[in-house]
C-alpha cells in the first residue's frame, strides 16, 4: 500500500506574495555554522517554503536585501528565543542558539503562509516554558493507546519505523516550538521494555538523531520493573544495591548507544504498572534512584503523578480518587532531586471535559513541576466530535493557585517564574497517527498545532492560535476563517453541554470512553462517579465530604468548599446538589441540566450548517472528511441528550418545564 501523508500547516502552497518575495531571493549566515544539523535544516526549510509559496529559488549569497540568519548575544534574547527585524528589504533572524534560529525561520515562513507582510516587522520571542513536549502513547505492535488517527508511525510489528514521515513529523512539531518528545506509551509492556536493549538501539538512535536535527530532545517511557524483565535481579526495589548496580550498567549502555537521549518518562504504581510502593518505598525513592544514575549523562527523569488506587471501592466515601495525586506526593515536596520533574495531569481525575486544576500544581513548592494535558481526545470526542481544546488549556494556565503572591498562576509555576526552576514546562499526550491527515478529523489538527504554539507562547489567545492554523492549513479567505473560528471556539462548551456539564465528568462507556453510559464505572461493578440519588447529584468534596477542597491554597479552598461561591461550572465536582437548587440564572439544577443537553444538540446542528456553507470553498477531501464526522457527532450528541435526560428524569421525577420530549 502506498504510504501517504499531508503536510498540514507546512504544505507550502502558493500564497499571495504580500511583498515578501524580496526576503527570500537570497540568504546568508553570520556566526552560525551551516554544517550544524539544525542550521542546515533551517536553511533547507527556507528553500522549501520559498519555492512552494513564492516560486523562488533562494540563492546562498550575501546582499543588501534578503534573509540574514545571525548569531547574537543580545540579552533580550534568551535560550531558544529569537528576534525578527526587517529594514530596507533585509529580514534578519537573530538568535543565541541554533534552536532559536530554527524557530525564527519558522516564524518568518509562518507569516508568508498566513499571507501577512514581513515589512517593518520587529519582534522578540522567547519561549515561556523550558520544556515543551509531546508524549506519544504508541505501542510497539503499532497500536496507539487512546489513538484516534490510525496506527503508530513510530512502530509497526514490534519494529521501530524510521522514514520520511519521521522527518516530516519532526519538522512539523519543531515549526511550532516543540523541544521534547516521548515516542512510546507510558504503559511500557511486552517487548517495549526492550527499547533499552541492543535489539533496538540502532533504530532508536536514528529517530533520536532526526529529532536532534530539529532541536528536539528524545525521551523514552521506562518500565520501572525493567531489571526483572531483562534478566536482571528479580526485584525492582529502588533501595536494593543490586538493582541500583543493574540500572547503572544499563544507563551507561543506553546513553552510549543513544547519545541524543534526554532521559525517561515513568508511570509507576499506577493502573497495574510496577513501582516503588511494591517495596514499601516512596515515589521519591524511586524517582531519585533513577535520576542519580542518569545525571552524569545530563539525563532527566520525568515522573508522573497519576498515582491512585484503581481498585478502590468507590462506595467508600472516604477514599476519593481526586485526592490521590496530592496525598501521594505532597509530603515529599523538597525531597526530589534536581533532575527529577513531577509531571502532573491538569485535573485530579483524568482529562475530563472540565475538572478543577490539580491542587498539586502550586501545591508543591520545592519540586520541579510539569503540566500534562491531553491533546488526544480520549474523553472529549475521540476526534470524531469537534472539540477545540485550546480554550481549556488557556484556562488551566491562567488559573490562580495563590502559591506565591503575584506569581501564582499555573503558567507561572510550570514556566519556572515562580520558584526559579529550570527543569519544568508542559507536556501533552499527542493526537497523531498514521492517517493521511495525521489526526483523523482534520479539525483536530488545530489542537495538535495549538498546544505547541501555546506551550511556546502562553500569552497567545485561543482565537489567535486558531486563526493562524486556519490560514496556514485551510484558507486565508476571511469568510472561511470566520466560519471555522465560529465552529472551533465554542466547540469545547458545546461538547460539555451535551455530555457532562458542571464538572461531573465521566458517564462514558467504561474503558472505551466514547459514547454515553450514565452509570458506567471503570474499575468495579460498584458505585458511580456522579453519585446521583432521587434528591440530587454530585460529589461532596467539601470538609464535610471527602475533604478534597481543602487541598487548595486559600482563598480557593474556601471558595470551592461553599456551594454559594463555588463556580457553577464545577459545582457538581465539589458538591452533592439537590435537583431543586436554584442556580444564578434562576433555573433549578435539573432544569439547567435538561436545557444544557437540548442546547448541545442544537448547537451541533448549527455547527453542521456552518460547515456546509464551506462546500466548494475549501479542499474537497477535507470538507468531506469533516462532514462525515459531523454526522457521527450529531448521533453521539443525541444519544447523550436522550440517555442523560431520561436517566435524571427517572431519578428525580421532575419533568422538563418546557414539556419537551424526554426519551
Ligand atoms: C487514563 C487512560 C489510560 C492511560 C492513563 C495514564 O487512565 O485511560 O489509557 O494509560 O490515563 O495517563 O497513564
* Tens digit of each residue's pLDDT (9 = 90 or more) over 454-472: 999 999 999 999 999 999 9
Residue 319 is predicted with a pLDDT of: 75
C-alpha 631 to ligand 1 mean position (Å)? 28
pLDDT for 648: 98
Predicted pLDDT of residue 416: 98
Q: Sheet harboring 66-71: ordered strands across?
A: 59-60, 26-30, 66-71, 90-95, 82-87, 122-125
Q: For domain 495-539+576-652, give the fold.
A: Alpha-d-glucuronidase, C-terminal Domain (3.90.1330)
CATH superfamily, region 8-125 = Chitobiase/beta-hexosaminidase domain 2-like (3.30.379.10)
- Ligand 1 pocket: which of 136, 144, 182, 271 to mutate (most atoms within 8 A of CB): 271
| Model pLDDT for residues 587-645, shown as the tens digit of each residue | 999 999 999 999 999 999 999 999 999 999 999 999 999 999 999 999 999 999 999 99
CATH code, residues 132-458: 3.20.20.80
Q: Flag residues of the chain having pLDDT under 70.
A: 1-3, 313-318, 524-525
Q: Rounded to the nearest whole angstrom, what is the distance from the C-alpha of residue 596 to the centroid of ligand 1?
A: 28
Distance CA 403, CA 167 (A): 41
* pLDDT at res. 1: 52
* Coil/strand/helix, residue 518: coil
Q: How many angstroms is it from 223 CA to the middle of ligand 1?
A: 15
Q: Decide if 585 contacts 595 (C-beta within 8 A).
A: no
Q: CA–CA separation, 558 vs 160, rounded Å?
A: 51
The confidence score (pLDDT) of residue 201 equals: 98
**Residues with a known catalytic role:** 271, 350, 378
CA of 617 to the centre of ligand 1 (A): 39
Ligand 1 pocket residues where CB is under 6 Å: 145-146, 186-187, 267, 271, 306, 350
Per-residue confidence (pLDDT) for residue 2, from 0 to 100: 57
Q: Where are the domains of the chain?
A: 8-125, 132-458, 495-539+576-652
Residue nearest to atom 7 of ligand 1 (CA): 350
Q: pLDDT tens across 63-120, in order?
A: 999 999 999 999 999 999 999 999 999 999 999 999 999 999 999 999 999 999 999 9
Question: Of 172, 123, 171, 121, nearest to 18 (Cα)?
Answer: 121
CB atoms within 10 A of CB 615: 11
Amino acid at each position: 500500500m502506498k504510504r501517504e501523508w499531508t503536510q498540514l500547516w507546512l504544505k507550502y502552497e502558493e500564497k499571495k506574495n504580500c511583498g515578501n518575495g524580496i526576503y527570500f531571493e537570497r540568504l546568508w549566515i553570520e556566526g552560525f555554522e551551516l554544517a550544524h544539523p539544525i542550521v542546515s535544516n533551517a536553511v533547507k526549510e527556507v528553500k522549501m517554503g520559498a519555492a512552494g509559496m513564492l516560486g523562488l529559488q533562494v540563492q546562498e549569497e550575501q546582499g543588501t536585501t534578503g534573509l540574514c540568519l545571525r548569531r547574537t548575544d543580545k540579552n533580550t534574547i534568551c535560550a531558544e528565543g529569537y528576534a525578527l527585524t526587517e529594514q530596507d528589504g533585509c529580514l534578519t533572524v537573530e538568535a543565541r542558539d541554533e534552536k532559536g534560529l530554527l524557530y525564527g525561520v519558522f516564524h518568518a515562513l509562518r507569516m508568508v503562509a498566513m499571507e501577512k507582510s514581513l515589512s517593518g516587522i520587529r519582534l522578540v520571542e522567547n519561549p515561556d516554558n523550558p520544556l515543551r513536549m509531546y508524549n506519544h502513547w504508541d505501542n510497539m505492535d503499532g497500536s496507539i493507546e487512546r489513538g484516534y488517527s490510525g496506527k503508530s508511525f513510530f512502530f509497526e510489528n514490534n519494529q521501530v519505523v524510521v522514514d520520511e514521515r519521521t522527518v516530516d513529523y519532526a519538522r512539523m512539531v519543531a515549526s511550532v516550538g516543540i523541544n521534547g518528545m516521548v515516542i512510546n506509551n507510558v504503559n511500557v509492556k511486552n517487548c517495549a521494555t526492550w527499547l533499552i536493549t541492543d535489539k533496538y538501539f540502532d533504530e532508536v538512535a536514528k529517530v533520536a538523531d532526526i529529532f536532534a536535527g530539529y532541536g528536539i530532545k528524545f525521551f523514552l517511557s521506562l518500565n520501572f520493573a525493567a531489571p526483572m524483565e531483562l534478566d536482571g535481579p528479580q526485584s525492582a526495589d529502588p533501595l536494593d544495591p543490586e538493582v541500583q548496580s543493574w540500572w547503572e550498567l544499563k544507563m551507561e549502555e543506553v546513553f552510549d548507544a543513544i547519545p541524543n537521549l534526554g532521559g525517561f518518562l515513568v508511570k509507576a504504581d499506577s493502573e497495574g504498572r510496577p513501582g516503588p510502593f511494591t517495596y514499601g518505598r516512596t515515589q521519591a525513592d524511586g524517582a531519585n534512584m533513577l535520576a542519580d544514575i542518569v545525571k552524569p549523562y545530563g539525563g532527566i527523569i520525568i515522573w508522573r503523578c497519576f498515582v491512585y488506587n484503581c481498585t478502590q471501592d468507590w462506595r467508600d466515601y472516604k477514599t476519593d480518587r481526586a485526592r490521590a495525586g496530592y496525598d501521594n506526593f505532597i509530603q515529599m515536596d523538597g525531597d526530589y532531586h534536581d533532575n527529577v520533574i513531577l509531571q502532573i495531569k491538569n485535573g485530579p481525575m483524568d482529562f475530563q471535559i472540565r475538572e478543577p486544576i490539580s491542587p498539586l500544581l502550586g501545591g508543591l513548592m520545592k519540586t520541579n513541576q510539569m503540566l500534562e494535558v491531553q491533546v488526544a481526545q480520549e474523553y472529549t470526542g475521540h476526534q470524531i466530535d469537534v472539540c477545540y481544546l485550546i480554550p481549556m488549556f488557556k484556562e488551566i494556565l491562567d488559573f490562580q493557585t495563590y502559591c506565591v503572591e503575584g506569581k501564582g498562576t499555573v503558567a507561572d509555576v510550570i514556566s519556572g517564574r515562580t520558584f526559579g526552576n529550570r527543569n519544568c514546562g508542559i507536556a501533552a499526550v499527542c493526537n497523531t497517527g498514521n492517517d493521511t491527515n495525521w489526526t483523523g478529523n482534520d479539525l483536530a489538527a488545530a489542537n495538535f498545532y495549538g498546544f505547541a504554539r501555546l506551550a511556546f507562547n502562553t500569552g497567545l489567545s485561543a482565537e489567535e492560535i486558531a486563526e493562524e492554523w486556519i490560514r496556514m492549513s485551510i484558507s486565508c479567505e476571511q469568510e472561511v476563517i470566520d466560519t471555522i473560528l465560529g465552529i472551533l471556539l465554542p466547540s469545547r462548551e458545546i461538547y460539555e453541554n451535551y455530555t457532562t456539564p458542571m464538572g461531573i465528568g465521566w458517564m462514558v462507556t467504561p474503558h472505551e470512553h466514547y459514547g454515553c453510559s450514565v452509570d458506567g464505572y471503570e474499575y468495579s461493578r460498584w458505585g458511580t462517579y456522579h453519585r446521583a440519588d432521587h434528591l440530587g447529584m454530585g460529589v461532596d468534596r467539601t470538609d464535610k465530604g471527602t475533604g478534597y477542597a481543602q487541598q487548595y491554597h486559600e482563598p480557593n479552598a474556601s471558595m470551592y468548599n461553599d456551594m454559594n461561591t463555588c463556580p457553577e461550572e464545577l459545582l457538581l465536582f465539589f458538591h452533592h446538589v439537590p435537583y431543586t437548587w436554584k442556580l444564578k440564572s434562576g433555573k433549578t439544577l435539573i432544569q439547567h441540566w435538561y436545557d444544557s443537553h437540548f442546547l448541545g444538540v442544537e448547537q451541533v446542528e448549527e455547527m453542521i450548517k456552518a460547515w456546509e456553507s464551506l462546500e466548494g470553498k475549501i479542499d474537497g477531501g477535507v470538507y468531506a472528511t469533516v462532514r462525515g464526522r459531523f454526522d457521527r457527532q450529531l448521533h453521539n450528541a443525541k444519544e447523550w441528550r436522550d440517555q442523560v435526560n431520561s436517566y435524571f428524569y427517572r431519578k428525580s421525577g421532575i419533568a422538563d418545564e418546557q414539556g419537551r420530549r424526554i426519551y
